[in-house]
């Protein structure tokens, strides 16, 4: 199914080629002056300069080729050589009918060549509660997973938990010191207790204590490092205790992800790459990539001539490789964060053979992924350019710094969801919405409003930017918010239910009024919005489109009576156009991971 912008782009490209002009210059965009035209092409200006022609003369020749095109009602030249194009009502009507009839894609096109894509997102650490810092990765990753799948790719979402690093050694050592896991401290093969010696509350208490102690007590830190190495080497008691850490943490992680409607195809952790670790180390050595560096083993990833200046403690400045070497094996003999990431790429190559792996991780990890990706390419674990780090900005408080509690601590994700749901209840009651619903129905809607508020607040911003979290504004039913979009969707559903109750039938869409044209043009733009979001890895482009659909429908509804329309054919056309708007709005919201209620 082809959108009208693409149809016109192809027509203008053909016209340019007929005049001996490079097709790539025939770019068609929505008009800067929608009161004058629907689309425009400014390519004649650049082409004429290269050909040393008058741009208006060239534009006139190109426009002559477009005369009589079935999708156009008018083609005009403006200014020094702008080509303005106005779509015919017939073309808009046909396009709106296509959208209405496309229950699966709502008018969006799919990719020509589907790929197998792994999206690595979520990434919380075992034994630590999820906090607001995990929100963006979860929300953005889930939306990208849906967008890529919607476009036709085979997509595998992997949570990739942090469950194999130094934090595990810290916890094992802390449990041993407190005497709450003595049975697991013994050497030998066990057996070991099947019941967990720790609760989630224990882990939440022990980890920050142990992390703080490791900074102040070198002896404790060394014991924790040794415990990490022994865990990774296969010490049975430590492995059994670690499995309890994972199982206890998994319960809480599942709760938070479920509340956000975030799902994974793989619930893997760093530890799942352990079976290929020995093979990988041997392979890196065989390829002369693994070298010793002050007792540790590293892979040098900087290319020849890549350096940066580093200031030493004595004030002197030296040149060091940039990016720095990837640390693979520490001087204590344990695998590092980069090691497990590298091994995970190898494991995915062997088990999944993906064409592309996307990492939705905080922008502050950019250098780490540059190191890992370069090492992967050097070792031939992944084809060049098949690994992408999709960094993102932070969710900030009104002070412009990463969002904190009033006491200055990191806010738990569960508490954020609860806080937002409480505010959603107040908003619904203030707006007198949901008064005729049962308590259970009301609570379900309050949760959907809360999640819509959180997700749209995040996804309406470009992935690469930071944004200020304003709970009061984000939960409003007015303005550019998730609750506003839900309200508009519910409003259309109410209209369609009333039409059904009155026996009003849907009819063939026929575009005639300006508000109908504007809505049909907005619906046509969905395919480009999804395609751009896919190509640029930017879900905010879908969020922007969803908001435009809601606005366009609101203007259409105000200007064009639907049920009050006495002419049966016009009423049927507008009902079908309303249904098409709902279909596309809900489709766009689904791509953002937002569910719409049936009523409020």
Q: Which residue has the tokens 């999206």?
A: 119
- How many Å separate Cα 588 from the centre of its chain? 13
CA distance 548 to 539: 15
Q: What is the pLDDT along the chain (600 residues), one digit of tens a residue?
A: 799 999 999 999 999 999 988 888 889 999 999 999 999 999 999 888 888 889 999 999 999 999 999 999 999 999 999 999 999 999 999 999 999 999 999 999 999 999 999 999 988 888 888 888 889 999 999 999 999 999 999 999 999 998 888 999 999 999 999 999 999 999 999 899 999 999 988 998 999 999 999 999 999 999 999 999 999 989 999 999 999 999 998 888 888 899 999 999 999 999 999 999 999 999 999 999 999 988 899 999 999 888 888 877 777 877 878 889 999 998 877 778 899 999 999 999 999 999 999 999 999 999 999 999 999 999 999 999 999 999 999 998 888 888 876 666 778 888 999 999 999 999 999 999 988 999 999 999 999 999 999 999 999 999 999 999 899 999 999 999 999 999 999 999 999 999 999 999 999 999 999 999 999 999 999 999 999 999 999 999 999 999 999 999 999 999 999 998 889 999 999 999 999 999 999 999 999 999 999 999
CA distance 338 to 328: 6
CA distance 509 to 93: 6
Which residues lie closer than 8 Å to 285 by C-beta, 6 or more apart? none
- Per-residue DSSP letters for 277-332? HHHHHHHHHHTT-EEEETTEEEE--PPTT-EEEEE-TTS-EEEEESSPPEEEE-TT
| Nearest CA among 458, 552, 474, 562 for reference residue 514 | 552
124 DSSP assignment:
P
Which residues lie closer than 8 Å to 239 by C-beta, 6 or more apart? 231
CA distance 396 to 221: 32
CA distance 507 to 495: 15
10 Å CB burial of residue 16 (0-12, 13-18, 19+) is buried
Residue 408: its pLDDT value, please?
Answer: 64
Residue 139: its pLDDT value, please?
Answer: 96
| Nearest CA among 69, 90, 72 for reference residue 512 | 90
Which residues lie closer than 8 Å to 155 by C-beta, 6 or more apart? 117, 118, 119, 145, 148, 149, 265
Q: What is each CA distance from 118 to 157, 158, 354, 385, in whole angstroms?
A: 6, 7, 7, 14
- Tell me the longest C-alpha to C-alpha distance in the chain: 88
């Amino acid at each position: 199914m082809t959108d009208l912008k693409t149809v016109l782009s192809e027509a203008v490209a053909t016209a340019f080629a007929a005049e001996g002009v490079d097709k790539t210059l025939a770019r068609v965009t929505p008009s800067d002056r929608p009161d004058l035209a629907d689309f425009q092409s400014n390519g004649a200006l650049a082409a004429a300069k290269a050909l040393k022609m008058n741009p208006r003369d060239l534009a006139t020749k190109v426009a002559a080729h477009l005369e009589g095109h079935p999708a156009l009602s008018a083609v005009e030249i403006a200014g020094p050589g702008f080509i303005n194009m106005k779509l015919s009502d017939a073309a808009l009507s046909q396009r709106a009918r296509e959208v209405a009839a496309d229950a699966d894609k709502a008018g969006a096109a799919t990719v020509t060549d589907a790929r197998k894509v792994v999206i690595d997102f979520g990434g919380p650490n075992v034994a630590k509660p999820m906090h607001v810092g995990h929100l963006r990765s979860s929300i953005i990753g889930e939306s990208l997973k849906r967008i890529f799948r919607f476009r036709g790719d085979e997509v595998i979402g992997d949570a990739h938990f942090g469950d194999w690093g130094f934090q595990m050694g810290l916890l094992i050592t802390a449990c041993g010191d407190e005497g709450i896991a003595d049975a697991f401290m013994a050497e030998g093969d066990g057996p070991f207790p099947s019941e967990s010696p720790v609760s989630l509350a224990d882990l939440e208490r022990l980890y920050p204590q142990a992390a703080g102690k490791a900074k102040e007590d070198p002896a404790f830190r060394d014991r924790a490092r040794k415990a990490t190495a022994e865990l990774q080497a296969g010490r049975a008691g430590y492995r059994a205790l670690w499995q309890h850490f994972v199982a206890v943490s998994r319960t809480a992680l599942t709760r938070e992800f479920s509340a956000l409607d975030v799902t994974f195809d793989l619930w893997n952790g760093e530890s799942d790459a352990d079976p290929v670790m020995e093979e990988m180390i041997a392979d890196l050595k065989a390829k002369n990539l693994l070298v010793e560096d002050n007792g540790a083993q590293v892979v040098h990833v900087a290319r020849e001539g890549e350096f940066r200046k580093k200031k030493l403690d004595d004030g002197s400045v030296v040149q060091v490789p940039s990016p720095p070497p990837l640390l693979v094996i520490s001087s204590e003999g344990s695998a590092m964060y980069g090691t497990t990431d590298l091994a995970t790429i190898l494991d995915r190559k062997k088990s999944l053979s993906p064409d592309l792996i996307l990492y939705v991780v905080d922008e502050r990890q950019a250098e780490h992924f540059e190191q890992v990706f370069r090492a992967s390419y050097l070792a031939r674990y992944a084809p060049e350019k098949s690994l992408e780090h999709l960094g993102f900005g932070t969710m900030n408080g009104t002070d412009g710094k990463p969002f904190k509690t009033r006491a200055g601590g990191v806010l738990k994700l569960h508490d954020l969801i609860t806080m937002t749901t409480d505010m959603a209840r107040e908003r619904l009651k203030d707006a007198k919405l949901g008064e005729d619903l049962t308590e259970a129905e009301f609570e379900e809607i309050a949760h959907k409003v809360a999640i819509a508020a959180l997700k749209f607040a995040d996804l309406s911003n470009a992935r690469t930017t930071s944004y200020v979290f304003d709970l009061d504004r984000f939960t409003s039913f007015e303005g550019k918010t998730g609750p506003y979009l839900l309200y508009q969707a519910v409003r259309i559903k109410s209209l369609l239910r009333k039409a059904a109750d009155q026996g009003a039938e849907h009819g063939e869409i026929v575009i005639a009024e300006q508000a109908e044209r504007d809505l049909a043009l907005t619906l046509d733009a969905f395919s480009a919005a999804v395609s751009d979001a896919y190509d640029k890895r930017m879900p905010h482009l879908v969020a922007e489109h969803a908001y435009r659909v809601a606005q366009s429908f609101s203007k259409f509804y105000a200007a064009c009576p639907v049920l009050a329309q006495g002419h049966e054919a016009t009423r049927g056309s507008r009902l079908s156009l309303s249904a098409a708007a709902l279909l596309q709005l809900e489709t766009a919201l689904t791509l953002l991971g937002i569910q719409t209620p049936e009523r409020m």
